[in-house]
Amino acid sequence: MTRIIKGDAMVAVTLIKIPETKVVQIKTIDTDGYEAIVLEATDGKLSHMKEVPLTGSMAELKVGDTVSLDVLDGIGMVTVSGISKGKGFAGAMKRHNFAGGPAGHGSKFHRALGSIGCRKPRRTKPGQKMHGHMGLDKVTLKKIQVELVNKNINVIALHGPVPGARNSLVVLDF
């Protein structure tokens, strides 16, 4: 993350490098029953494929064409999806933001979970807010403002934070 000056205010942004994206396949109603384009994003040795529905601006693309940042012209908001950072095993207070008990005056209830239900059935019901693995979930943020598009170096700046660690894959939908 970094910041840019917009008007008379500083705006926190996340810079995202867009890899080279090529059209691999075009699906049509005749062959597949629907219209879509399969895109392949290549960044060094890694390549990722994504199927997107065919829209009016992408109708003239052919197999082998490179998709540039020109598709972002006139786009103000995007949807960002990614995998959140993994945080390993966490207790119930950290994982679910429980308050805990009083800290002093002889209290023996500090960071404990508390009651988790009745005696029967003698198991933990699914969905109970208990300790366990935290993070590594798919996170989708909608209506994220596009602050800056630099076509020379294939970088865009999105307002605020984006899910995932550094150099992780995020998917932009618009």
Query: pLDDT at residue 105 above 80?
Result: yes
φ and ψ at residue 141, rounded to 5 degrees: -110, 125
Query: pLDDT at residue 124 above 80?
Result: no
Has residue 29 been placed in a domain?
yes
Has residue 147 been placed in a domain?
yes
What does pTM read for this prediction?
0.79
Mean pLDDT in residue range 34-56: 87
Domain that residue 13 falls in: 2-86+135-173
Q: Which of 53-62, 125-134, 152-161 has the lowest mean pLDDT?
A: 53-62
Has residue 97 been placed in a domain?
no
Has residue 92 been placed in a domain?
no
Mean pLDDT in residue range 7-16: 96
Has residue 104 been placed in a domain?
no
Has residue 140 been placed in a domain?
yes
Residue in this structure with the two tokens 């209830």, named with its chain if needed? 109
d(CA 25, CA 159): 32
Query: pLDDT at residue 8 above 80?
Result: yes
Has residue 124 been placed in a domain?
no
The structural domain count of the chain equals: 1
Residue 9: what pLDDT?
95
Task: For the chain, give the mean pLDDT.
Answer: 90
| Tens digits of residue pLDDT in 140-153 | 999 999 999 999 99
Has residue 159 been placed in a domain?
yes
Task: Provide the b/e sequence for 100-121 (b: ≥16 CB within 10 Å).
Answer: eeeeeeeeeeeeebeeeeeeee
